[in-house]
Structure 1
Amino acid sequence: MQRLLLAAAMLVTVVACAGEEAPPYWSVEATTDDQIFDMLRQARGIEACALVPRTELAELGMPGPDRLRRTEGCATTLTTADGPGSFDLTVVAGTFDGAWGVVPDTSESTTIGGATLTTIEDRDSRRDRSIPEGERWCRVDVKYPASVGYTALLHLPAGSDPCPAAERLAEAAMGKWIEQPQHGTTAGLPRSVLTGADPCAVPVALGASIAANEQQLGACAFRLDGVHTAILFDYLPESSFDGPLDERGRYDLPDGPALMKGRLGPGFTVDEDNRPLVPTVAVGGDTPTSHRVMNAVLDHYR
């Protein structure tokens, strides 16, 4: 009888444990390399434009069409009664200092829905914290325990206080974040070879050493051939490609401290100034290793 009772108790325990769902990746601190790489992988799949709370944004004015802002962001123009404005939402992931940009000591934070919301005012960058003349801006970082989330940046015409509205927009986007909208969610939004691409894929294939705590979305820092360097994915206007070409005519060579730049595809969309944007890889340095990396990336994505 005791054996039967023990077996029944063990069965109940197993069933109960099997029914428990693992917490979402963003809600648990990423401390091991595997956790960090998994966090970055899942964050790369999120479509930033699908996080934009358009209903709440429309309360401020008339939103324009969504535009890609780098590989992990979305920009929307805004026409208000007092003049033009804009709203940018960027997915952020990274555990190293600086992954989330500069956060002044005067910034205020609060915890909502398991995330830390930090408000950065435009006047935080001024020593006397005076209100700047002209256009105002306010940024709200929504950071979950895994060091992943997004930033919401609102620009409004002079005379406005953008922070209350920026905080409302950032909180409204939290409901969309839980849904983890993937690339392709927003109808009509252009896609390219960089959509959801892992910038560390080629360096890994080349045998590079990659530290998890140095990584962020849209870029990869690594060590190869004893050299520490990085590559960056971005969307740049065609006019950015104006430097001398390498001996094979494949990419722009650096001019001074600038990066080498290579096209990974044709211009596929337009920005707010109607300039074609080109999927681009930039590689740091002008060494045999950096040229090796650039050619490998071009071979991989072209």
Structure 2
Amino acid sequence: MTILAVTACQSDSDAATADPIWFEVATTDEQHWELMRRIREVDPCALLPRSALEEHGTVREVRSGSAMIAGCRATVDGESAPLELTWTLAWAPGGSEVDEDRRVGDVSVEILDPSGESSANEVNACWVTAQFPSMTQILLSVKGPPAVDTCAIGDELIESPIAQLPASPPYGTSPDSARSVLTGADPCEILPEIGATPALPAAENQVVHLCRVEPVPALTIGYEYQVETEIMQDEIVILDGRQVFAFGFGDGEQIGYTFVVGPPVAGDAVPTVTVLGGDHSAVERARDALMKKYPAP
């Protein structure tokens, strides 16, 4: 496979500098870990720059957003109505391939159009996914009034991240991106300190901002952005002078803890760390180690 063929929509100079990691199929655990690490380093807001958004109206706002750390959102005042857009960079494990509607070089594009489900008073939403050969996916949603063809807009806009990702734009490429203590962080990095082992193979058990510990479901660690008032909780406990959201499920067999690790980064959303699982002692060890690693903001 040649990068020139894959990035047919780019200039020859752009294609020559394309990062091959997005076009190579990861087959080993080491390759999967490296791919997820590289995804965490990409500035998501740079994948759909303001210049592309401005073709559909006046850009009111662009900011890091959604629960996914590798996500961005925008509000655009279109010709007839405002549009809400979100896009996220993710890695799809086996079995999560897109249902291809068209191709851009070696990139598969799927358009999910829930046509006929909107009434005159509801939002019309369309989802477009671009999948690279590495199984890296760009997930784009476009929302607007029913009269707006959100799928046509999404299908056009997806061309921008398809063209931008091969350059691997780092954080700071977009003036609208925001960093937090979790930017680029690996949720599995704490495991050596607590004597835990990641669940393998990585292709079946790991995702970019979520770490599963062997044996599953002994322990799961998640990094994300959440609105503090919406964090799952049964109660709020104070540990080492710090507010921690505690919850349980499965008749108490599973427990979890979530705590804030920084100031707001995406509107009202704050960076959070969540630890949950059925091995209560392992969950608490991981919680304590992560609270030490990420002191209270």
TM-score normalised to structure 2 length: 0.80
Q: Are 1:43 and 2:39 an aligned pair?
A: yes
Matches of 2:149 and 2:44, distance apart in 1: 25
Letter in 2 for 1:260: Y
State the partner residue of 1:294. 287
- Report if aligned partners of 2:218, 2:282 keep a CA contact under 8 Å in 1: no
**Separation (CA, whole Å) in 2 of partners of 1:137 and 1:28:** 32
**What's the TM-score once normalised by structure 1's chain length?**
0.79
Aligned to 1:280: 272
Query: What's the CA shift for 1:240?
Result: 3.7
- The answer as to 2:100 corresponding to 1:95 is no
Paired position in structure 1 for 2:214: 223
Matching residue of 2:101: 109
Q: Provide the rounded CA distance (Å) in 2 between the counterparts of 1:222 and 1:50.
A: 32
Q: Alpha-carbon deviations, 1:35-93, whole Å to 9, x = none?
A: 11111111110010010142232222222222222311001112223322211110011
Write out the 4+ residue segments of structure 1 that deviate beyond 6 Å after TM superposition: 20-23
Residue 5 of structure 1: aligned partner: none
Match of 2:135 in 1: 147
Q: What is the alpha-carbon distance in structure 1 between the residues aligned to residue 159 and residue 193 of structure 2? A: 40
**Counterpart residue type for residue 85 of structure 2:** F
Q: Matches of 1:254 and 1:143 in 2, distance apart? A: 35
Unaligned residue ranges in structure 1 (runs of 5+): 1-19, 124-129
Please tell me whether residue 168 in structure 1 is matched to residue 160 in structure 2.
Answer: no
Q: The residue matched to 1:49 in structure 2 has which SS? A: helix
Counterpart residue identity of residue 51, structure 1? L
Q: Please tell me whether the aligned partners of residues 30 and 145 of structure 1 are also in contact (alpha carbons under 8 angstroms).
A: no
1:94–1:270: structure 2 CA closer, same or farther, 3 Å change rule? closer
Structure 1 residue 80 corresponds to structure 2 residue 71: no
Are 2:222 and 1:236 equivalent residues in the alignment? no
User: Once the two structures are aligned, what percentage of the paired residues are identical?
Assistant: 26
Query: Matched residue of 1:117: which SS?
Result: strand
Structure 1 partner of 2:147: 159
Partner of 2:246: 253
**Partner of 1:244: helix, strand, or coil?**
strand
Deviations 1:200-232 (A, max 9, x none): 1112443322221211122111126x8532111
Q: Does the Cα contact within 8 Å between 2:237 and 2:245 map onto a contact in 1?
A: yes
State the aligned residue count.
265
* Preserved CA contact (<8 Å) 2:47 2:161: yes
> What is the identity, as a one-letter code, of the residue corresponding to 1:161?
D
The partner residue of 1:193 within 181, 199, 202 is 181
Letter of the aligned partner of 2:271 in structure 1? P
Contact 1:142–1:151 (Cα < 8 Å) also in 2: yes
For 2:276, the aligned partner's letter is: G
Aligned with residue 111 of structure 2, among 109, 115, 119:
119
Moved more, 249-258 or 50-59: 249-258
**Unaligned stretches of 5+ residues in structure 2:** 1-15
Q: Distance in 2 between matches of 1:280 and 1:82?
A: 37
2:118 is equivalent to residue 132 of structure 1: yes
SS of 2:247's partner is coil
CA deviations 1:118-168 (Å, max 9, x no partner) are 111123xxxxxx342222111111111111131111112221221121011
Q: Which SS does the other structure have where 1:173 is aligned?
A: helix
Q: Distance in 2 between matches of 1:186 and 1:46?
A: 10
CA shift at 1:190, angstroms? 2.5
CA distance in 2, matches of 1:159, 1:29: 40
Q: What residue is the counterpart of 1:24 in the other structure?
A: 20
CA RMSD of aligned residues (A): 2.6
From 241, 257, 262, the counterpart of 2:259: 262
Larger CA Rg, structure 1 vs 2: 1
Residue 296 of structure 1 aligns to a residue in which SS?
Answer: helix
Q: Cα deviation per residue 1:6-60 (whole Å; 9 max; x = unaligned)?
A: xxxxxxxxxxxxxx99970111111111111111111110010010142232222
- Matches of 2:147 and 2:157 in 1, distance apart? 19
